[in-house]
């Protein structure tokens, strides 16, 4: 514990003034030539959101929430790792490690924290309580930015093991979506003695061998992945091949950073293209602002350069695994493929609503999944 120190974020008043100045002087592109968002976020919508960001968004409210949440930092393998550590008042609560992805942040989990640590006041019982550890990925938020190659998924998973041991947890569970799913799956493969089970809301189940007839569910996942490749994968190709190049553009333009992230909320949330119907605009802008203030466009993109090529295929998991299948996810994983690579599925549920940002879109459903999945592990 002596290696863990409280974290106080740097003052942001001048940075926010500079952000507003840049938004005031933004140079906008021409209007799209189609009537929908097929070419990207529409000009009218982006101008409306940028106006809200400049004149009405209150970053300081988010900063105060972070200050009160329980921020810490610790050096692991030569890199500072920033994290939230929020303990339940129930001493024997189950420790839960939550890992975000891109373009997410620890802020994705802000609305599930209270019901997870204090279930009795949020529709649960004392037996549903969790202690929470929520780290910022290397290169994201207030974690350190790697100065050399090598911080891929495997190294991050190893760092998370060190983090949980350093916090004194000898029995814990882990959860993740997006890159968090990849890292959590890798944790499960490592089979650290202290890790009792994992939960993922984007199961990595695509088999290497696709020979033979496919069920309708299997074909639907394959079709969804092909549609992603054809229509959604431009950002990942750019970040996996030239993260530095996109970093120049996004580090210098808040409008660019906003559009780069907002597009994913619009396309990946279960929202019919209008993310404000399921995620508060200020919640989205808090995440965008965190990327902007920490100048982490390039450093966060590098996880794609490090791990995208082999990060999302099926992996053999023999520890207890829970999966939640949200209908608006990039694809709906079929249980038949999951059973090929997961030998001990303790929880599987297909939810009625929710998408890629499950904890932010549907916090009540997400909390219910954590309680139901890990109840047998306590």
Domains of the chain: 4-202+214-377 (3.40.50.1820)
pLDDT confidence of residue 72: 98
Q: What is the structure's pLDDT at 310?
A: 82
Instruction: Report pLDDT for 299.
Output: 98
pLDDT at residue number 1: 54
Q: Output the six-digit token pair for 115.
A: 């019901």
Which pLDDT score, from 0 to 100, does residue 293 have?
98
Burial of 25 (0-12, 13-18, 19+ CB in 10 A): exposed
Distance CA 41, CA 39 (A): 7
CA distance 365 to 378: 20
- Whether cis (ω within 30° of 0) applies to the bond prior to 263 is no
Length of the chain: 378
Q: Are 337 and 348 in contact (CB under 8 A)?
A: no
- Structural element, H or E, at residue 222: helix 216-231
Output phi, psi for 368, to 5 deg: -60, -35
Give the pLDDT confidence score for residue 212 in this predicted structure: 85
Smallest CA-to-CA distance from 289 within 110, 153, 141, 171 is with 141
Instruction: Please give the Cα distance from 251 to 243 (Å, whole number).
Output: 12
Give me the half-sphere count of Cα atoms (radius 13 Å) on the Cβ side of residue 9.
Answer: 25
DSSP 56: T
pTM for this entry: 0.97
For position 312, what pLDDT does the model report?
81
| Regions of the chain with pLDDT less than 70 | 1-2
């Amino acid at each position: 514990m002596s290696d863990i120190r409280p974290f106080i974020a740097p003052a942001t008043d001048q940075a926010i003034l500079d952000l507003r100045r840049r938004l005031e002087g933004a140079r906008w592109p021409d209007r799209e030539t189609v009537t929908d968002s097929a070419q990207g976020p529409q000009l009218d919508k982006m101008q409306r959101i940028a106006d809200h960001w400049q004149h009405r968004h209150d970053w300081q409210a988010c900063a105060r929430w972070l200050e009160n949440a329980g921020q810490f930092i610790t050096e692991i393998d030569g890199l500072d790792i920033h994290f939230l550590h929020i303990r339940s008042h129930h001493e024997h609560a189950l420790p839960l490690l939550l890992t975000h992805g891109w373009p997410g942040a620890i802020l994705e989990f802000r609305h599930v924290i209270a019901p997870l640590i204090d279930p009795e006041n949020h529709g649960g019982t004392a037996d549903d309580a969790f202690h929470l550890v929520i780290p910022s990925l290397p290169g994201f938020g207030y974690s350190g930015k790697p100065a050399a190659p090598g911080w891929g998924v495997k190294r991050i998973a190893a760092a998370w093991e060190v983090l949980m041991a350093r916090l004194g947890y000898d029995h814990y569970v882990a959860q993740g979506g997006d890159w968090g799913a990849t890292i959590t799956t890798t944790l499960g493969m490592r089979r650290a003695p202290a890790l009792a089970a994992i939960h993922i809301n984007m199961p990595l189940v695509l088999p290497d061998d696709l020979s033979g007839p496919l069920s309708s569910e299997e074909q639907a996942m394959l079709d969804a992945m092909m549609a992603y490749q054809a229509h959604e994968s431009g950002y990942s190709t750019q970040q996996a091949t030239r993260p530095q190049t996109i970093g120049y553009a996004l580090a210098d333009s808040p409008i660019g950073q906003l559009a780069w992230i907002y597009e994913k909320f619009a396309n990946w949330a279960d929202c019919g293209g209008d993310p404000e119907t399921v995620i508060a605009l200020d919640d989205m802008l808090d995440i965008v602002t965190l990327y902007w203030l920490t100048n982490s466009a390039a450093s966060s993109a590098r996880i794609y350069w490090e791990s995208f090529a082999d990060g999302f295929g099926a992996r053999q998991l023999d520890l207890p695994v829970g999966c939640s299948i949200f209908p608006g996810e990039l694809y709906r994983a079929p249980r038949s493929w999951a059973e090929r690579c997961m030998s001990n599925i303790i929880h599987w549920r297909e939810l009625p609503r929710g998408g890629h940002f499950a904890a932010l879109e549907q916090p009540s459903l997400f909390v219910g999944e954590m309680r139901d999945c890990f109840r047998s592990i306590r």
